[in-house]
Amino acid sequence: MTITDIKVRKLIPNGRLKGVISVTFDGAFAVHDIKVVQGDERLFVAMPSRRDTSGVFRDIVHPISSEVRKDIEDKILKAYEEECERQEHNIES
């Protein structure tokens, strides 16, 4: 599967949640509500999840391998950072 589009849906300046992203794969399959989160050490990507009956959050979709997870996370964080820079540039102009 190839990422064919990444849309930064929302940038959030305050708090640990920094953005909400949608990713399209092969121009045919979209995953919405991927979150960019500020962790203690770095930004990371959290896949869409829901709370189960025991109160534990479980991913609805997720990459199977660590290599694919890293590739997806790297591309999402790059798109997020580019959008932050674009927004900052627009504010300064």
Kindly report, residue by residue over 19-53, the tens digit of the pLDDT. Answer: 999 999 999 999 999 999 999 999 999 999 999 99
Which DSSP letter does residue 56 get?
Answer: -
What is the distance of C-alpha 60 from the center of its chain? 14
pLDDT at 76 over 80: yes
Percent of the chain with pLDDT over 70: 97
Residue 16 structural domain: 3-92
CATH of residue 15:
3.30.1120.40
Model pTM score: 0.90
CA distance 86 to 60: 31
Element (H, E) at 24: strand 17-25
Structurally, the chain folds into a number of domains equal to 1
Tell me the pLDDT band of 74, cut-offs 50, 70 and 90: very high
Tell me the pLDDT band of 89, cut-offs 50, 70 and 90: confident
